[in-house]
Chain A
Amino acid sequence: MTALSDLTVSVDPGIVGLVGANGAGKSTLIKILLGLLAPTSGRVRVLDLDPTVDAAAVRARVGYMPEHESLSPDLSAAEFVTHLGRMSGLPRTAARERASEALRHVGLYEERYRQIGGYSTGMKQRVKLAQALVHDPDLLLLDEPTNGLDPAGRDAMLALIHRIGTEFGISVVVCSHLLGEVERICDSLIAIDGGRLLRSDNISAMTTTTDVLAVEVSEGIDELAARLDLLGLSVRRDGRLLLVPLEDDATYDRILSAVAELDLPLHRLDQRRHRVAELFATREVTHV
């Protein structure tokens, strides 16, 4: 069975989204990057090392957060993360200190001496992230980090990943089948499907010129659409939202004054990037 074929991609430091439907080959790619699977052909370089030759050196500098449940329920988070720190070669004291630090960064400092078995799904996801951070990797591979989280938990996890990628100086690869999630935090994006590359690009390059404003009013949406049309804005309906291309800062004022003149209850007005899903859809190859 071929899980990946003809996939040629190179990634710069930063936060990279690896997107694809379930079974697209994301996990296989991660296993190859970790040196757990050898590619039948082709070449891999991770942090300028070859995982097929120097797997231990690659794994010493990479942190991996697996998709599935992978925690010992009968240990406390502190013990568990400390033990895994030692498995990465940290001396005993350093492992203990860094485990506490990693758990603090993921927001589990207070709860770290409780048994993992009693943790909520969100806390368990954060322990998984902490164990990937404990040995201070240069690269983090996160496989579906928001799996099983509620919306608030998702937001918190994504914010944390964003912080790791921007403030900690660690490059991050985030795998997800949810494009909408990764596009919020990633610098660049790789989309694969059926083991083949769909598209690999820089998010800002893909979206800078196509930012849109989303306007939501609880009534009078048709009147507002007509009014904005009169003002020379090209309005598009998307369910209960009106999407207006953001040309310059004056666009905000024109929308706001239109809403005020019509005396409509405004629910929200926010800038959102052109959905990356649509960018991929224009290529008419994706099933994401």
Chain B
Amino acid sequence: MSEAAGVIHDIGYQRYAGPRLGRGYVFTSLYVHSLRTAFGLGRSAKAKIFPWFVLGVVFLTGVILAAVRTQVPDAGVTYTAFVDMMAWLVVFFVAVVAPELVSRDLRAGVLPLYFSRPLRRSDYPYAKLAALATAVWLLLGAPQIVMFLIAAFSVDNMSQFWTEVGDVGPGLFYAALWAAVFAGIGLLIASLTGKRAFAAGGIVAVFLMTTPVVGVLSVMPSQTMNELALLFSPSSLVFGVGVWLFGSPDGNDNIGPFGPLYLAVTIGLVAGCVALLQARYRKVASS
């Protein structure tokens, strides 16, 4: 071929001499790829419908709440209340997106291709978890930024502005707490099955089935029991932490002196999910 008179038909195989980047780059690439997948970016139009619908709802709600706040400052519509309001929507978002991120890979058998590469076994679940938590946090946090900007442009003086800053900060932190809990539980359940419908059903079931438990416990005659009731469902658990840190939105929720316990259980729950997720992928990788 090389002696052919100046005509190159096939340039042949080229060896790659460029850089091969390390763990940080690979992790970030997987994280960004997963975050894009969560919102259907780089995917078919069909995959975009649901995430963009949810985004539309949260932003619309955020704008409406911001408008209400400028007209009726005492309506009690705070940043944290917005997060509470969106809780169920986020449950469904996680139920749809978590299986997209992990069940799909299990189903298609892609994992051997990941684990035969330099990517560390533990980095795969961490990157997926970080991507899902970021997606949930953006869902709950970005509308708060919009609310904040609307409020910030309608303040009369600097002290009101700083009040707003003082309100949105905890709101974003509260959103991060939700994101960690929802992503942890959602991803753990989704990692157990390659069937996306089962995974989605399982995630909704965990949040749905635990809610009546909270309802029953909160009407028990024991006051201590009532104060601990919110511990028994993931969403009410985070809500309980919110009550402890920011006060009850309508003054009817009482967690007594157990605030630190709520926070400890929340952190323990997230840590447990991460540990189980890692154990799950150790098993997958060696099977």
**A37-B286, A86-B26 given; A72·B118 CB < 8 A:** no
**A36-B116, A62-B116, A169-B15 given; A87·B29 CB < 8 A:** yes
| CB–CB A87/B44 < 8 A | no
Q: Which of B20, B109, B118 has the most CB of A within 10 A?
A: B118
Q: Which residues of chain B (254-286) have a CB below 8 Å from chain A?
A: 285-286
Stretch at the interface among A90-98, A172-180, A184-192, A254-262: A90-98
In angstroms, Cα B20 to Cα A60, docked, is: 8
Contact of A72 among B16, B104, B116 (CB under 8 A): B104
Question: In the complex, which residues of chain B have a beta carbon less than 8 angstroms from the beta carbon of A73?
Answer: 108
Interface string of A72-87 (1 = CB under 8 A from B): 1110000100011011
Say if the beta carbon of B216 comes within 8 Å of chain A: no
Question: In the complex, which residues of chain A have a beta carbon less than 8 angstroms from the beta carbon of B53?
Answer: none
Tell me how far the C-beta of B267 lies from the nearest C-beta in chain A, rounded to whole angstroms. 31
| CB–CB A88/B118 < 8 A | yes
Q: Which of B23, B108, B113 has the most CB of A within 10 A?
A: B113
| CB–CB B117/A88 < 8 A | yes
Question: In the complex, which residues of chain A have a beta carbon less than 8 angstroms from the beta carbon of B47?
Answer: 74
| CB–CB A68/B21 < 8 A | no
| CB–CB A84/B117 < 8 A | yes
| CB–CB A74/B43 < 8 A | yes
Say if the beta carbon of B112 comes within 8 Å of chain A: yes
Q: Which residues of chain B (1-23) have a CB below 8 Å from chain A?
A: 12-16, 18-23
Tell me how far the C-beta of A286 lies from the nearest C-beta in chain B, rounded to whole angstroms. 28
In angstroms, Cα B115 to Cα A168, docked, is: 25
| CB–CB B16/A136 < 8 A | yes
Tell me how far the C-beta of A141 lies from the nearest C-beta in chain B, rounded to whole angstroms. 8
In angstroms, Cα B273 to Cα A61, docked, is: 34
Say if the beta carbon of A70 comes within 8 Å of chain B: yes
Say if the beta carbon of B173 comes within 8 Å of chain A: no
Tell me how far the C-beta of A86 lies from the nearest C-beta in chain B, rounded to whole angstroms. 4
Say if the beta carbon of B166 comes within 8 Å of chain A: no
Tell me how far the C-beta of B191 lies from the nearest C-beta in chain A, rounded to whole angstroms. 17
| CB–CB A167/B29 < 8 A | no
Nearest chain-A residue to B111 (Cβ)? A70
Interface string of A41-78 (1 = CB under 8 A from B): 00000000000000011011010101011111110000
Say if the beta carbon of A125 comes within 8 Å of chain B: no
| CB–CB B285/A86 < 8 A | no
In angstroms, Cα B20 to Cα A132, docked, is: 15
Question: In the complex, which residues of chain A have a beta carbon less than 8 angstroms from the beta carbon of B20?
Answer: 60, 88-90, 135
Question: In the complex, which residues of chain B have a beta carbon less than 8 angstroms from the beta carbon of A272?
Answer: none
Size band of the interface chain A makes with B: 35 or more
| CB–CB A167/B12 < 8 A | yes
| CB–CB A167/B13 < 8 A | yes
Tell me how far the C-beta of A7 lies from the nearest C-beta in chain B, rounded to whole angstroms. 19
Question: In the complex, which residues of chain B have a beta carbon less than 8 angstroms from the beta carbon of A64?
Answer: 112-113, 116
Question: In the complex, which residues of chain A have a beta carbon less than 8 angstroms from the beta carbon of B26?
Answer: 86-89
Q: Which residues of chain B (26-84) have a CB below 8 Å from chain A?
A: 26, 29-30, 33, 42-44, 47
Question: In the complex, which residues of chain B have a beta carbon less than 8 angstroms from the beta carbon of A31?
Answer: 286
Q: Which of A70, A87, A90 has the most CB of B within 10 A?
A: A87
Question: In the complex, which residues of chain B have a beta carbon less than 8 angstroms from the beta carbon of A203?
Answer: none
In angstroms, Cα B26 to Cα A91, docked, is: 9
In angstroms, Cα B47 to Cα A72, docked, is: 14
Say if the beta carbon of B120 comes within 8 Å of chain A: yes
In angstroms, Cα B29 to Cα A89, docked, is: 9
In angstroms, Cα B29 to Cα A135, docked, is: 15
**A36-B115, A84-B117, A88-B118 given; A70·B109 CB < 8 A:** yes
Say if the beta carbon of B158 comes within 8 Å of chain A: no
| CB–CB B22/A87 < 8 A | no
| CB–CB A94/B18 < 8 A | yes
Tell me how far the C-beta of B2 lies from the nearest C-beta in chain A, rounded to whole angstroms. 12
Contact of B108 among A59, A72, A84 (CB under 8 A): A72
Say if the beta carbon of B110 comes within 8 Å of chain A: yes
Q: Which residues of A contact B (CB under 8 A)?
A: 31, 34, 36-37, 56-57, 59-60, 62, 64, 66, 68-74, 79, 83-84, 86-91, 94, 98, 101, 105, 131, 135-136, 164, 167-169
10 inter-chain pairs at a CB distance below 8 angstroms, sorted by A residue, are A36-B115, A70-B113, A71-B110, A72-B104, A73-B108, A79-B42, A87-B119, A89-B19, A91-B21, A164-B13
